[in-house]
Amino acid sequence: MMGVVYTTFMDMVAERFSEDVLDEVLDDPGLSTGGAFTSVGYYGHTDMIKLVVRLSQITKLPVDTLIEAFGEHLFGVLVGKYPTLAEGRSSSMELLEVVDTAIHVEVLKLYPNAELPEFRCERLEPSVLHMEYRSKRPFSRLALGLIQGCAKHYGETLEISHESFDSEEQYETHFTIKRIQ
Ligand code: HEM
């Protein structure tokens, strides 16, 4: 995973919990880097899982809740960092529909070794989007948080239901996203 994802996570932990909690999280002997992450580096995604699991142990909050909150926060940071990628999209549905076909395509041009999931989208009704997540990495909860972050960005309320179909080959989650207002 890109270093920017790690540094964003670290900033969020320091901000929402404390520097002490962050130090404790990074003190995990199982981390491949000895707890050092920079925004320009590239690190295996298992380190991210270890960090979230450790944060969950320290804060006693569920892993899913933490990773979702991180996704929500990450969306704002990504849009701030790459504003042109969200340009011209005037609602969350419009943006979500092009994550796979435009946004992540551009990300891959900028960072050829980025590891991105695959999304298939179908607009079932003007205000209902079916979105299928597939990845080699188990980050569907991060996707859920990113979708929520997207809703927040546009000041919308989305009702999101999801169901997972993980297999030996891949992680797969189907989201049904309904715009309430
Ligand atoms: C302007 C908007 C967005 C930008 C610039 C962006 C960019 C990125 C970047 C840089 C990564 C890290 C790749 C790596 O570490 O190798 C990433 C990963 C990811 N993105 Fe996006 N993204 C955006 C929106 C979204 C949205 C709205 C979703 C969810 C629907 C999403 C789902 C994901 C997921 C789940 C991953 C983790 C990798 C995986 O699951 O395999 N992204 N994205």
Give the model confidence (pLDDT) of 43-94 as tens digits.
999 999 999 999 999 999 999 999 999 999 999 999 999 999 999 999 999 9
Are 34 and 74 contained in the same domain? Answer: no
Are 56 and 76 contained in the same domain? Answer: no
Are 48 and 73 contained in the same domain? Answer: no
Nearest CA to ligand 1 atom 13: 114
Residue 123 confidence (pLDDT):
97
Ligand 1 mean position, distance from CA 78 (Å): 8
> 61, 81, 106 — which closes off a domain?
61
Are 43 and 78 contained in the same domain? Answer: no
Are 119 and 77 contained in the same domain? Answer: yes
> 45, 61, 77 — which closes off a domain?
61
Amino acid at residue number 179? R
Q: How many domains does the chain have?
A: 2
Are 80 and 40 contained in the same domain? Answer: no
Are 48 and 78 contained in the same domain? Answer: no
Cα distance between residue 35 and residue 87, in whole Å: 35
Residue 181 confidence (pLDDT):
74
Give the model confidence (pLDDT) of 123-166 as tens digits.
999 999 999 999 999 999 999 999 999 999 999 999 999 999 99
Question: What are the C-alpha distances in Å from 163 to residues 4, 32, 106, 176?
Answer: 29, 32, 28, 9
Structural domain range at position 54: 3-61
Residue 150 confidence (pLDDT):
98
Cα distance between residue 66 and residue 77, in whole Å: 17
Cα distance between residue 130 and residue 124, in whole Å: 7
Q: What is the mean pLDDT of residues 101-129?
A: 97
Are 86 and 160 contained in the same domain? Answer: yes
Are 85 and 55 contained in the same domain? Answer: no
* Residue of 89, 90, 107, 134 to mutate, ligand 1, most atoms within 8 A of C-beta: 107
Cα distance between residue 12 and residue 135, in whole Å: 25
Tokens of 76: 């704002």
Cross-sheet strand order for the sheet of 158-164: 118-125, 128-135, 171-179, 158-164
Residue 60 confidence (pLDDT):
98
* CATH number of the domain that residue 73 is part of: 3.90.1520.10
Q: What is the mean pLDDT of residues 5-25?
A: 98
Cα distance between residue 5 and residue 71, in whole Å: 10
- Report the run of H or E that residue 161 belongs to, with start and end: strand 158-164
Question: What are the C-alpha distances in Å from 167 to residues 46, 121, 138, 139, 173?
Answer: 18, 20, 11, 14, 11
> 61, 83, 109 — which closes off a domain?
61
